[in-house]
């Protein structure tokens, strides 16, 4: 007796012994991609909730139901969420529509004095630097990775 094989993605019955190796690999690739997408969505939502909670803890009303405050930040929060989701998708080698905006509005730019390369936004959408520049991009601010004096989340310091 053989069991029926049901496609997780479509719900359709698959022929048990009639799948070629390529068809089996194709199904496996699709399943792995769907699992990556579910993971990306879950981690993005979870981290966004932490960010919003942290903003509330700092006294900001981002995402609160008060229309006087929330209407000011609603669209900003939406674009931040999509940009963040695009970041997670890119990290997992998944495509996301926000990548178009990032790829067309963000550019690496080298500071001649420091020699560091930063990411900058071109609000007009015009090419402002050579896109073929492969210098390593450094983020502004302090390197907090090895800072043991820095307060940790949920720290009582």
Of 116, 121, 145, 152, the closest CA to residue 133 belongs to 116
Q: Are 109 and 129 a contacting pair, CB within 8 Å?
A: yes
Q: Are residues 83 and 114 in the same domain?
A: no
Q: Are residues 34 and 63 in the same domain?
A: yes
Q: Say if strands 106-110 and 13-14 run parallel, antiparallel, or are unpaired.
A: unpaired
pLDDT, residue 153, reads: 46
Task: Count how many domains the chain has.
Answer: 2
Q: Is residue 156 part of a domain?
A: no
Exposure b/e, 78-87, CB count within 10 A at least 16 = b: eeebeeebbb
pLDDT, residue 49, reads: 92
In which region does residue 151 sit, left (phi positive, over 0), alpha (psi from -120 to 50) or beta (all else)? Answer: beta
Residues of the chain with pLDDT under 70: 1-3, 15-19, 63-71, 125-157
Range of the domain at 118: 107-140
User: How far apart, in whole angstroms, are the C-alpha atoms of residue 129 and residue 107?
Assistant: 7
Q: Is residue 152 part of a domain?
A: no
């Amino acid at each position: 007796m053989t069991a029926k094989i049901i496609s997780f993605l479509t719900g359709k019955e698959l022929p048990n012994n009639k799948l070629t190796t390529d068809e089996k690999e194709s199904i496996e690739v699709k399943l792995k991609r769907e699992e990556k997408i579910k993971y990306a969505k879950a981690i993005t939502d979870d981290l966004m909730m932490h960010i919003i909670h942290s903003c509330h803890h700092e006294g900001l009303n981002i995402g609160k139901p008060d229309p006087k405050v929330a209407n000011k930040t609603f669209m900003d929060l939406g674009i931040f969420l999509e940009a963040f989701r695009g970041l997670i998708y890119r990290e997992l080698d998944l495509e996301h529509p926000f990548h178009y905006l990032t790829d067309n509005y963000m550019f690496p730019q080298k500071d001649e004095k420091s020699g560091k390369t930063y990411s900058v936004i071109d609000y007009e959408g015009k090419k402002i630097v050579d896109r073929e520049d492969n210098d390593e991009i450094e983020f502004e601010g302090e390197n907090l990775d090895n800072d043991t004096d820095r307060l940790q989340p949920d720290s009582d310091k």
